[in-house]
Amino acid sequence: MRRIAIISDTHNLLRPQVLERLADADVILHAGDVSSPDTLEALRDLGRDLYLVRGNNDWSLDPRIPPTLTVSIEGVTFFLVHNQRDVPPGLSGVDVVVYGHSHRYAREERRGVLWLNPGSCGPRRFHQEITLLTGQAGGGVLRLEKIVIPHEEP
């Protein structure tokens, strides 16, 4: 079993409550919009296996960060992309599609594939919740929990 954290749209903000959850993970999947080299370095400094894709606000980051990525963790195959519109038609051989961009949490099954948007755990936008996913993968099984981070009212 490997502990997983799935995040997106951090946009230069790694909240203490998010960092606590990431510190408990063995693997971090980030669906893009890290937005700054400093935030990327902070994620790398956690010392976890980090898989991330380039978001539309990641133009200043390492050019080697891919727009899409397929990774298998404990028998579960993930396809990461920032915007779900960029998922290739006829994508096959994956169990989970992880995407971001909208800042809105979503979880649905489409033709036997789990589609997940962890929402945004960075700056609160569009009056959305501040969310991420944590859980475990093992033996081809994925168990996830939606985590809602309380936000400060203005």
Q: Do the beta carbons of residue 39 and residue 10 sit within 8 Å?
A: yes
Question: 71: which 2 tokens?
Answer: 């990774």
Q: How much is the average pLDDT of 31-57?
A: 96
Tokens 């971090």 sit on residue? 28
Which is more confident, 39 or 123? 39
Output the CA–CA distances (angstroms, integers) from residue 6 to 20, 60, 90, 114, 126, in the order listed.
13, 22, 24, 14, 21
- Give the three-state DSSP class for 20: helix
Q: What is the pTM of this model?
A: 0.95
Least confident window among 29-33, 89-93, 140-144, 148-152: 148-152
Kind of pairing between the strands at 68-73 and 49-52: unpaired
Q: How confident is the model at residue 60 (pLDDT cuts 50, 70, 90)?
A: confident
Q: Which amino acid is at 136?
A: Q
How remote is the C-alpha of 42 from its chain's centroid?
15
- pLDDT per residue over 108-145, tens digit each? 999 999 999 999 999 887 788 999 999 999 999 999 99
SS3 of 40-87? HHHHHHCCCEEEECCCCCCCCCCCCCCCEEEEEECCEEEEEECCHHHC
Q: Do the beta carbons of residue 7 and residue 118 sit within 8 Å?
A: yes
